[in-house]
């Protein structure tokens, strides 16, 4: 196709009918343009990305059917997240997360209140929230007191909340509790978990009108307070006429409803991540600065020498040229230079590491010496490192030994 990924992104950013962009990626031919477009678009709309090729088998598949080079997943993940993408690792969560992000505001932080009609639902939700990097909001004493006043004595009013049967005959208590929780400044989002929406099915059809009205009241809360509200219900997987009316009603009111607690919590985590993206200083996700010349020079050297490895001292030079502050380091090409480097660093304890395109795992090759604390020891360590490298990898092309100060303990 003549249309590239970054051009699609820019188009969807301007499309008034698009609230969330979903992108499936195997590999990128115009990576720099895509990242620049992603930085721009993420400031305006969520961009949900599913990146395949996480394994060697997936990378081979991508190459065989499209010719795409999937590349290292960890590198892609880091770059895409920095540029403002919300990455999804489960394909069955892509649409659910996009739906939640199209309906709800981003979370202000990661503090969630759980309102459940069973201890099991509450406990599972607590585990999942923690595993997804979210936290249970610490409710104020006033909030807990207000909850205790309307719920049965057996109810748990410290987050997660277990209504302990209090809603079995009075589903409207869900809305009463939800308002109390949403009004707490320590709560950024609300997860309702359990049988909600199915009380007319489980207990009595006479409860359905009460649940429908309750759905209207809960849906109004997220619009009033701007805090995300999400529902996990055991009845959400029913379809067509079997889907309880209260769940249809609350979804029509803009509250996502899911039949999987894992999916619901994954959606909350995505809302938290996008909230953090939106709160970053603009300079972090704004237009990328031009690439420094030192970086291009190093790549040219690598190509000229036919190597795919950037040596440590070269990487340090490029990072320093880009403005990063790094501890001082000296590349010693002989023993006298190693001693001079030790002296130049203030005669503090140093680390010494072999620099070679052929010796990647330095420690395994005996190419590292730590806590070198004297000029004589620096001279000995240089000789030892070179000898060990040549023995471990015969014919290794050794550029020298990098001398750097030891990091402080702690």
Please give the pLDDT value at position 236. 93
The architecture that CATH gives domain 101-282 is 3-Layer(aba) Sandwich (3.40)
Q: Where in the chain is the domain with CATH 3.30.1490.20?
A: 327-405
For residue 232, give Cα distances in angstroms to 35, 72, 124, 185. 35, 35, 12, 23
Please tell me the distance from the alpha carbon of residue 112 to that of residue 109, in angstroms, as a whole number.
9
Q: Please, what is the angle between helix 172-182 and helix 141-150, to 10°?
A: 170
Q: Where in the chain is the domain with CATH 3.40.50.261?
A: 5-89, 101-282
Classify domain 5-89 by CATH number. 3.40.50.261
- Number of other CB atoms surrounding residue 396 within 10 Å: 17
From first to last of the 410 residues of the chain, give the pLDDT tens digit: 577 888 888 899 899 999 999 999 887 777 788 888 999 899 899 999 998 877 666 555 555 544 444 456 677 788 888 888 999 999 999 999 999 999 999 999 999 999 999 889 999 999 999 999 999 999 999 999 999 999 999 999 999 999 998 888 899 999 999 999 999 999 999 999 999 998 888 888 899 999 999 999 999 998 999 999 999 999 999 988 889 999 999 999 999 999 999 999 999 999 999 999 888 876 544 444 555 687 888 888 888 888 878 888 888 888 888 788 888 999 999 999 999 999 999 999 999 999 999 998 899 999 999 999 999 999 999 999 999 999 999 999 999 999 999 987 75
- Is residue 137 within 8 A of residue 190, CB to CB? The reply is no
* 177 CB-contact burial (10 Å; exposed 0-12 / middle 13-18 / buried 19+): buried
- Is residue 332 within 8 A of residue 400, CB to CB? The reply is yes
The domain defined by 327-405 folds into: Dna Ligase; domain 1 (3.30.1490)
Please give the pLDDT value at position 61. 58
Long-range CB pairs of 140-143, under 8 A, 24+ apart, other chains included: 140/184, 140/185, 140/186, 143/180, 143/181, 143/183, 143/184
Please tell me the distance from the alpha carbon of residue 190 to that of residue 47, in angstroms, as a whole number.
23
Please give the pLDDT value at position 201. 86
Please give the pLDDT value at position 94. 94
Please give the pLDDT value at position 286. 44
Please give the pLDDT value at position 162. 94
Please tell me the distance from the alpha carbon of residue 46 to that of residue 277, in angstroms, as a whole number.
9
Residue 257 has φ and ψ, to the nearest 5°, of -125, 130
């Amino acid at each position: 196709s003549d249309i590239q990924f970054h051009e699609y992104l820019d188009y969807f950013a301007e499309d008034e009918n698009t609230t969330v962009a979903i992108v499936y990626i195997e590999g990128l031919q115009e990576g720099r343009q895509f990242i620049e477009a992603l930085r721009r678009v993420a400031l305006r709309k969520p961009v949900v990305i599913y990146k395949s090729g996480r394994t060697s088998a997936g990378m081979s598949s991508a190459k065989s059917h499209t010719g795409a080079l999937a590349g290292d997943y960890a590198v892609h993940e880091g770059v895409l997240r920095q540029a403002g993408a919300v990455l999804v690792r489960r394909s069955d969560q892509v649409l659910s997360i996009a739906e939640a992000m199209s309906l709800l505001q981003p979370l202000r932080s990661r503090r969630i209140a759980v309102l459940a009609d069973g201890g099991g639902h509450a406990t599972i939700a607590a585990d999942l929230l923690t595993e997804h990097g979210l936290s249970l909001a610490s409710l104020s004493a006033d909030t807990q007191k207000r909850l205790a006043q309307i719920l049965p004595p057996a109810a748990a009013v410290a987050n997660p909340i277990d209504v302990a049967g209090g809603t079995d005959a009075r589903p409207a208590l869900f809305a009463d509790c939800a308002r109390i929780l949403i009004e707490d400044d320590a709560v950024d989002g609300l997860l309702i978990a359990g049988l909600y929406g199915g009380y007319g099915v489980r207990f009595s059809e006479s409860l359905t009108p009460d649940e429908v009205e309750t759905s209207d009241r809960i849906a109004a809360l997220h619009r009033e307070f701007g805090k995300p509200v999400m529902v996990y219900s055991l009845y959400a997987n029913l379809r067509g006429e079997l889907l309880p009316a209260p769940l249809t009603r609350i979804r029509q009111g803009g509250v996502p409803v899911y039949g999987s607690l894992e999916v619901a919590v994954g959606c909350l985590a995505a809302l938290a991540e996008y909230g953090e993206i939106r709160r970053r200083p603009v300079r972090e996700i704004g237009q990328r600065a031009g690439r420094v010349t030192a970086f291009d020079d190093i790549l040219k050297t690598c190509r000229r020498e036919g190597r795919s490895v950037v040596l440590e001292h070269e990487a340090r030079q490029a990072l320093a040229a880009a403005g990063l502050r790094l501890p001082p380091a000296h590349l010693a090409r002989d023993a006298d230079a190693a001693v001079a480097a030790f002296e130049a660093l203030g005669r503090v304890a140093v680390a010494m590491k072999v620099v070679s395109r052929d010796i990647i795992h330095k420690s395994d090759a005996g190419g590292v010496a730590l806590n070198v604390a004297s000029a004589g020891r620096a001279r000995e360590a240089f000789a030892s490192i070179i000898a060990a490298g040549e023995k471990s990898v015969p014919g290794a092309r050794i550029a020298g030994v990098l001398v750097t100060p030891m990091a402080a303990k702690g």
